[in-house]
Amino acid sequence: MAMEGNIGARRTEDIALDLLKFIAGTTHVGTKAAGSGLGFGVAGATKPEDQVTQLLELYGRCRQAVEGPVK
């Protein structure tokens, strides 16, 4: 029975990761191109630490969205 809970939790994590990949790829979050567009980008590239922080925050939000509200 405990394995079923682990499989379900892992599935939720996988779905959240897939959602993260889709959103990050579509919106360019966590990439050097993030924040730039039509010549109105910020001077200088985004630091790798900032990119990682953006991705971790986005992953947390994806997990919340996949898991839904706790009742």
Task: Give pLDDT tens digits for 12-37.
Answer: 899 999 999 999 999 888 776 545 55
Whether 1 has a pLDDT exceeding 50, the answer reads no
Give me the pLDDT at residue 17, please: 94
- Alpha-carbon distance 20 to 54, whole Å? 11
Does residue 40 have a pLDDT over 70?
A: no
Residues 6+ apart with CB under 8 A from 50: none
Averaged pLDDT of the chain: 78
Q: Answer yes or no: are the C-beta atoms of 24 and 62 closer than 8 Å.
A: no
Report the amino acid identity of residue 29.
V
- Segment 34-62 mean pLDDT: 75
